[in-house]
Amino acid sequence: MNTRQLEYILAIAEEKNILRASEKLFISQSTLSQTLINLEKELGTPLFIRNQRELAITEAGQYYIEAARDIMHIKEQAYDRIRSISVTSKERYRVGISSQEGMERFLTASGLFQKKYPGVELYATDESTKNLLKKLNMGQLALIITSLDSLQKITLPYKVLNREEILLLVPRTLPYKIWGESRRLKWELLKNEHFILSKQNSTMRSITDHIFKQLGFNPDIVCELDNTSATIHMVAEGTGLAFLPSGLKVENEQIRYVSLTPKVYRYQVVIYQEEMSQNPKMTDFIDLL
């Protein structure tokens, strides 16, 4: 909405002087004078009476100025309303994330998503799986990207993004007597070993706690941490045994990666509200994950 001419005339009316008005508008005096001359020529009547000291507003000029102020006010209201609509209509979705892989997937997918849907805002929050599931069930999150040890307890729509086998890390110095036929571990010989486990309330800890429960013994825990490189280093040094998803496997001559029997898996999943299934934009985002 181009209201430059109105702004020029209003400035002249306020300053009652072409020079002062031009300085206020940051334009040349000649440009402002020519604008006024052209407008008065178009209207067929003067808007100002020129004298030595200042410009006096004519009756026609007064009417023009009142109309100009009304138009400027309408413009301001319209722009405010448009800005308000732009802000309130912007879609926002809260996404919960509980794993490093989940965050990496979110960052990659959200970058592509924002290019396609610049008017949609994705807000990420990083919390434990337990808290995210609770908030999702309460409707506080649109979807969550998390890792689980089982798919059986999921009550909302979900999509499996990745499945990783859980491996046991042992130092190569571990005696061969622990191996049975077909290279299967003799778990009863590991009861006296030290273990390096993930921190409480993590999916990996939930998985390992379930393993030990099935085996019927409480492990001797020497350290709890969620740092993969530190865990591998401690196993290599003989500090203890540990569990690691296959996706985080790093080759090291001082350690072995052993498959469990039966195999144990960790699932990377996206779980979402029912209505997200009917939302084309969010189904696109889920597909990008």
pLDDT value at residue 251: 87
Could you give the C-alpha distances from 79 to 10, 88, 118, in angstroms and in order? 20, 14, 21
Pairing of strands 91-97, 55-57: unpaired
Could you give the C-alpha distances from 58 to 5, 20, 30, 32, 240, in angstroms and in order? 18, 19, 22, 18, 95
- 153 or 223: which carries more pLDDT confidence? 223
Question: Is the pLDDT score of 181 beyond 60?
Answer: no
Whole-angstrom Cα distance, residue 82 to residue 76?
10
pLDDT value at residue 187: 72
Identify whether the C-beta of residue 153 lies closer than 8 Å to the C-beta of residue 106: no
Q: Mean pLDDT, to the nearest integer, of 251-279? A: 91
Architecture of the domain whose range is 88-160+267-286: 3-Layer(aba) Sandwich (3.40)
pLDDT value at residue 119: 83
Q: Mean pLDDT, to the nearest integer, of 35-51? A: 92
Domain boundaries, the chain: 1-79, 88-160+267-286, 162-264
The residue with tokens 């080759």 is 251
What are the tens digits of pLDDT across the range 160-174? 999 999 999 999 887
Question: Is the pLDDT score of 125 beyond 80?
Answer: yes
| Yes or no: domain 162-264 corresponds to CATH 3.30.450.20 | no
What are the tens digits of pLDDT across the range 182-229? 556 667 777 888 999 998 888 888 889 988 988 888 999 999 998 899
CATH numeric code, 1-79: 1.10.10.10
> How many C-beta atoms lie closer than 10 Å to residue 206's C-beta?
19
pLDDT value at residue 260: 83
Q: Mean pLDDT, to the nearest integer, of 260-280? A: 92
Question: Is the pLDDT score of 257 beyond 70?
Answer: yes
CA neighbours closer than 13 Å in the CB half-sphere of residue 8 = 22
- 190 or 32: which carries more pLDDT confidence? 32
Instruction: Evaluate whether 1-79 and 88-160+267-286 have a shared fold.
Output: no
For residue 167, with 0-12 CB atoms within 10 Å meaning exposed, 13-18 middle and 19 or more buried, which class applies? buried
Quote the pTM value: 0.64
Percent of the chain surpassing pLDDT 90? 57
Whole-angstrom Cα distance, residue 227 to residue 4?
62
Percent of the chain surpassing pLDDT 70? 93
pLDDT-based confidence at residue 179 (cuts at 50, 70, 90): low
What are the tens digits of pLDDT across the range 75-109? 888 887 777 665 555 688 999 998 888 999 999 99
Tokens (6 digits) for 211 = 């393993």
pLDDT-based confidence at residue 128 (cuts at 50, 70, 90): confident
Q: What SS3 string covers the chain? A: CCCHHHHHHHHHHHHCCHHHHHHHHCCCHHHHHHHHHHHHHHHCCCCEEECCCCEEECHHHHHHHHHHHHHHHHHHHHHHHHHHHHHHCCEEEEEEECCHHHHHHHHHHHHHHHHHCCCEEEEEEECCHHHHHHHHHCCCCCEEEEEECCCCCCCCCEEEEEEEEEEEEEECCCCHHHECHHHCECHHHHCCCEEEECCCCCHHHHHHHHHHHHHCCCCEEEEECCCHHHHHHHHHCCCCEEEEEHHHCCCCCCEEEEECCCCCEEEEEEEECHHHHHCHHHHHHHHHC
pLDDT value at residue 112: 95
pLDDT value at residue 169: 92
